[in-house]
Every structure is written in structure tokens, then in C-alpha cells.
Amino acid sequence: MKSSFGPDYKVTDITERAIDPKFFASRKLPEGLAFDPPNCAKAAVGPEMPPDLQGNMAAVTAEGKGNRFVIIALETSKALPINDPGKDCAKIAFSGPQVRGGMEVVDAPHIDGTTTLGVHRVLQAVVPGGARTGELYDYSAQFGYYQVIVVANPLVVPDQPVVPVDTQRARDLLVRAVQAVRS
């Protein structure tokens, strides 16, 4: 996947290693949030991962042209639960004492033999000195004991405007990463 990026990108290879359970925990929202619609809390938080999950993961990160892309490939000891929010939860808002935001299902590429999902998340956290807002796009493909994830977000560079996320590139990277895992 590193060859997908030209000289305008700083690319880092994270070599294959055992799955770190913290990887899944870091994608969770804080406790105590109110959700709208209320019945969509589970879809917003995501499925529980099996506690005995084992496997390997590898990743590539690339930063350039105002965007950061993180491509993660997982091979697990069992199939991961699929997070299909359903039509009623395609758009969810949430709020709490220190954070608010939302998530919305976005178009993900169709890849034969996989279940794909695209999600756009926006978070605003209350921190000393004001609020900080961030966004990311998360595209995933699951097939058997494999999952490929592409996370894309804008880079915040001092004294420069934030560049929109290149979502088409993120979707293309998901397709190419699935092809790479399958080969």
C-alpha cells in the first residue's frame, strides 16, 4: 500500500503484530452520552469485540496534501461482529458534558464478497480555552476472518486552512487494500 502514495506524502509502515485490544477500545465514545435517535446508541458506539479475540494486524499511515490516511488490515481468530447501523440509525447525533457530535453513514465502495460500511464522524470536545472540533471518515470491509479499515481525516497545520478530506481516495484505498489482503 505504501506505493499508493507519492513523494508528497510522509508514509509510515506499522509492521505486522498481534492485535492490540486497545485498538478497538480507542474507537469507542465516552460513557454517559445522550443519543438522537435514542434507540441508536448501540449503532453509534459499535459492537462489542469478543474478549478472547486474537490475531494479527498491520497498518500504513500516510500524511500529505492536507490529509492523513490510516490503512489497517486485521486477521482475527474469529469473524468480527458487523456494525450495520440500519436505515433508522443512518444519522445519529450525540451529546454529553464534555463532547458532542454525530455520525452519518456515507457511501462505501461495493467490493464483491465483503460487507462494507462508510461512516463520517464529527466530534466537538470541550477543552480548557474553548471547544475543539475534529472529523474523520471511516471505511471498512469485512470478509471472513479479515477486516480492512481506512480512516481518513484532515491534517491541522498551523496558519493554514483545513483541507477537505479526499473521500474518493479513501474509498479507492479500501478497494486496493482488500485486493492486497486477498492476494
Tens digit of pLDDT for each residue in 19-71? Answer: 866 666 545 677 889 999 999 988 887 777 777 788 999 999 999 999 999 99
- Which cell is 106 given? 456515507
Q: Which residue has the higher pLDDT, 122 or 131?
A: 122
The mean pLDDT of 7-29, rounded to a whole number, is 79
What own/partner pairs with CB < 8 Å and gap ≥ 24 does 46-52 have?
46/83, 47/80, 47/81, 47/82, 47/83, 48/81, 49/21, 49/24, 49/80, 49/81, 50/78, 50/80, 50/81, 52/77
State the pTM of this model.
0.90
From CA 177, how far away is CA 161, in angstroms rounded? 30
Q: What is the number of structural domains in the chain?
A: 1
Strand partners, 131: 126
- Domain with 41, as residue range(s), is 2-182
| Residue corresponding to grid cell 481518513 | 152
